[in-house]
Amino acid sequence: MATVTQEYGLWINGESTEGTEVRELTEPATGEPLARVSMAGEQDVDRAVEAARAALDGAWGKTPPNERSRLLHALADAIASNRKELAELESRNVGKAISSVKAELVQAVENFRFYGSAIASIAGRSNPIGGSLLFYSLKEPVGVCGQIVPWNYPLMMATWKLAPALAAGCTVVLKPDPATPLTALRLAQLAGDVGIPPGVINIVPGDGPTTGAYLVRHDGIDKVAFTGSTKTGAEIMRLAAAPLKRITLELGGKSPNLVFADANLADAIPSSVWSIYYSAGQSCEARSRVLVESSVYDDFVQTFADAASRLKVGDPLDAETQVGSLISATHRDKVHALVEQGVEEGAEVVIGGEPADGAGAFYPPTVLAKVENRMTVAQEEIFGPVVTVIPFEDERDAIRIANDTKYGLYATVWTGDPARGHRLAARIKAGSVGINMPYTAFPGIPFGGYKQSGFGRELGLETLELYLETKSVLVSTGAKPYNPFGL
């Protein structure tokens, strides 16, 4: 088991420092004490922004691209070398099955490797524009970035945000969720250990309405990147308007998983089970609406429920566990309240549907059948291990139901007809569509949403542009100076 330091400070300007208050954290799976962590107040955010600005104007701003690349690869190596400690710390802090956390750590490493290599792609362009004028452009970091990450993927989301920002030459003040800051703080320590200068990465845990809001409004922040709920994203847009800041928002989802009768159900069913339960359903792109062609609906529901009922729920640190705890008892109660509302609206509980007995914030894999897409459970993000199974009649009906949501983050299509898969990928309103495979996020492939699932993209080369300014330079190459007024 990882050794947990009992006291955690903020991380500002390359060192651990006290914050405004200290908060007790408990393990979601046991309810036992885990750590005492400093929380940041406004003056702490001020210190962090000041440190980030000094690093941008100083050591980091003078670091050449090849050295930034080396440092990002060195940080990837450090994450890999400390993966056992990080996995156990994340699993205990979030309550997530350690098997899932280990997979997330693989991507965390690859995120830094991808953007460490992508630094070589940052370049302006040049060309003559006629006569004696030459144009060229420069790419410069947008500045000091405020980044806010959620509690469901604390470490992996931190790497999603930090890697492209650092590759672009920006500095960062990152606010993890106050319930799950431990791996972000450890990541910042590792960054310092490999030689990333003080002030480049600053970590300020704190509550969203206070610390987060102050960070977004701060005059010293040039860009805000946020992952979290659509409601909070809308508030961030409002707060970032004065003074005006660039924004990237990766928000909520109610992602559909479309299963046609001609699909290979031997692949589609276990993959569909994984697509909703792999992080106990606490994932923005979880395929929480399974749309099934009516001719195979009943058989699908029974086989899916049988498979889900065999998932091992329990101790997050047990390598055999497949579904861990929810983040808190309060969140578990919200999940259960939505399930009860679904039943009131006519949904049928096939398996699950009741909180687990005993310690910890566990909720069993739950399958709701006889669901209509108008129901609350089919429209609202439950963010738990709850799937709604909805029948459709034909391809047109499937597209209609899939798009009948305010969200548009991800979709998966299962079909034996390749042409149909591509037709649906073109017509489903989602930032990403998977065809006959359940996986969602890979370094190098842009990830983000349509509609109220946000805007901007994570993980791709396009993400670098969100952390860069383009400066145009016009040069006279003529032998005589310009004198347009004839003076």
Instruction: Provide the 8-state DSSP code for 121.
Output: G
Phi, psi for residue 133 in degrees, rounded to 5: -110, 135
211/402 Cα distance (integer angstroms): 37
Cα–Cα distance, 114 to 111 (Å, whole number): 5
Contact 42, 71 (CB under 8 A): no
Angle among Cα 159, 54, 204 to the nearest 5 degrees reads 45
Q: What dihedral angle (degrees, nearest 10) is formed by the CA atoms of 15, 17, 22, 27?
A: 10
CB 373 within 8 A of CB 401: yes
Contact, 292 vs 272, CB < 8 A? no
Q: Quote the CA–CA distance of 468 and 60 in Å, as a whole number.
A: 15
Q: CA distances (Å), 269 to each of 294, 343, 436, 437, 439, in order? A: 15, 24, 11, 11, 14
Q: Is 145 labeled as catalytic in the residue annotation?
A: no
Candidate list 88, 110, 250, 285, residue with the active-site label: 250
Q: What is the DSSP letter of 422?
A: H
Contact 104, 452 (CB under 8 A): no
Catalytic residue among 284, 293, 381, 458: 284
The 8-class DSSP code of residue 196 comes to P
Q: Are 378 and 362 in contact (CB under 8 A)?
A: no
Q: For this structure, is 42 an active site residue?
A: no
What residues act catalytically? 250, 284
